[in-house]
Amino acid sequence: MAGIAAIPAPDSGWMLVSGDSEIARAETLSALIGRRPDVVIGLPSALVSTFAVALPPTDSSLHTNMIHAQVEKRGLAGTPGETLIDYDLIGHDPEGDTFAVTVVPPLPEELIVTTAAGYSTAAALLPSPVDGCRIWMEQGRNVFGIYHEGIPIHVQVLSGSTELDRSAAQEVSLTLMSLQGDPALSGHLPSGLEFCVPNLAPQSVQIFSEVLDIPVTESHRPNAVVDRVEGRDKLLPPAVSRSRSSRKNGQRAVIIGTAVLIAYCVAAAWMWVSARNTANEIESMERQLSILEPDVERIQQVEQRWNVLEPAFEKTWFPVVQLSRLTSALPGSGVVIREFRTNSRNIRVIGQARDVQLANQLLEDLQGMKEFAAYDWSMPNPKVEKNNTATFVISGGPKNAEPDN
């Protein structure tokens, strides 16, 4: 399917063209396109500089910088970041590479259409002439262009009258003569000229042809564009690029927001279902607990009674056994037990040691005995008597329980 292009009309304004068919015309670009997203805009030749340049053999990665240097050399660089530079390779041989370069300065606001599918030049969107060059009209002015395999390599707006007369032919002839000495155009000069100028009198064509040294023919595709209309990425105005980026960011934000909302709804639904399941589980557990609670109370009562009676049955808690184990921890001399008391499982020992060090040693020995591994032992600082002996009080009880004081 042929693409759609908006190009300058021959008389004034703009026209919308697809293939060989004109779709519509309007005085302004915005009125012609509206908000259509499928139109490639062909920039008027009066706003575009097109030339060919020959570069010496070098690495292809340097071509961009070398072409930009040629643009600056011709005084076309303009505002960095706003001036657009595009190029195509049109020749390659051992002596180097030849490029067709297109330079577009910052565009006027009326040519900025943020919804356009892309941008190119009007010359690049026209069908390539068979004999190499053509003359056509853009908004009331004659344009002369030289092509190589469909690529414009030299485009200029003729400075003479709007008629295709002798002065126009002389200007074209002088241009061709001056380009003959350009090494970049060696082998690319046209063998004939094709004109596409509406309402041209036969007498004008005859006069025009007599001045030129190359054959002149009339185009068989007036008001036509190439079958495959495509925009050039490097000719996309910065304002359009920023607008596209903004739209993409907006779309991305909408997508992310929608995804977050969906995730939130899913999470909320999952939490609601989970909460209901948890509530049902709690209710079920409460019912089971109410059934088991009397049995639990009876078990706790039995446990309490057993804890009271356990010392009477478990020899480990017998006072005699505890005293025997305690005395086995005493050193050979220097420590005397004055009082030994038991209360349930708790033990309280009051004694006198030759010095504080022996009292502390007894505490450490009790803490290290495997027979008392289930006990926690503690001792306040011993009291030193007048005769330098130390009175001590050692308390012990089952771990995780407070000793009896």
- Over the chain (405 residues), what is each successive 10-residue block's mean pLDDT? 84 91 91 91 94 90 92 85 90 88 93 92 90 89 91 89 80 89 82 84 82 85 86 91 76 78 85 86 84 78 67 67 83 86 86 90 89 88 90 89 50
The reported pTM is 0.60
3-state class (DSSP) for residue 173: helix
CA distance linking residue 86 with residue 76, whole number of Å = 13
Residue 208, in any domain of the structure: yes
Please tell me the distance from the alpha carbon of residue 224 to that of residue 387, in angstroms, as a whole number.
128
Token representation of residue 7: 């190009």
Give residue 300's domain range: 244-307
At 50, phi and psi to the nearest 5? -130, 130
Show the beta-strand stretches assigned E in 149-211: 151-157, 192-196
Residue 405 lies in a domain: no
The whole-angstrom separation of Cα 194 and Cα 202 is 15
Q: Residue 73 corresponds to which tokens in the numbers above?
A: 């050399």
Separation between Cα atoms, residue 50 and residue 70, nearest integer Å: 12
Task: Let me know: does 3 contact 40? Beta carbons within 8 Å.
Answer: yes
Looking at the structure of the chain, the number of domains it has is 3
Specify the CATH number for the domain of residue 146: 3.30.420.40
Residue 186 lies in a domain: yes
One domain for residues 298 and 360? no
Place of tokens 């061709």: 176
286: CB partners within 8 A, 6+ apart: none
Whole-number pLDDT of residue 130: 79
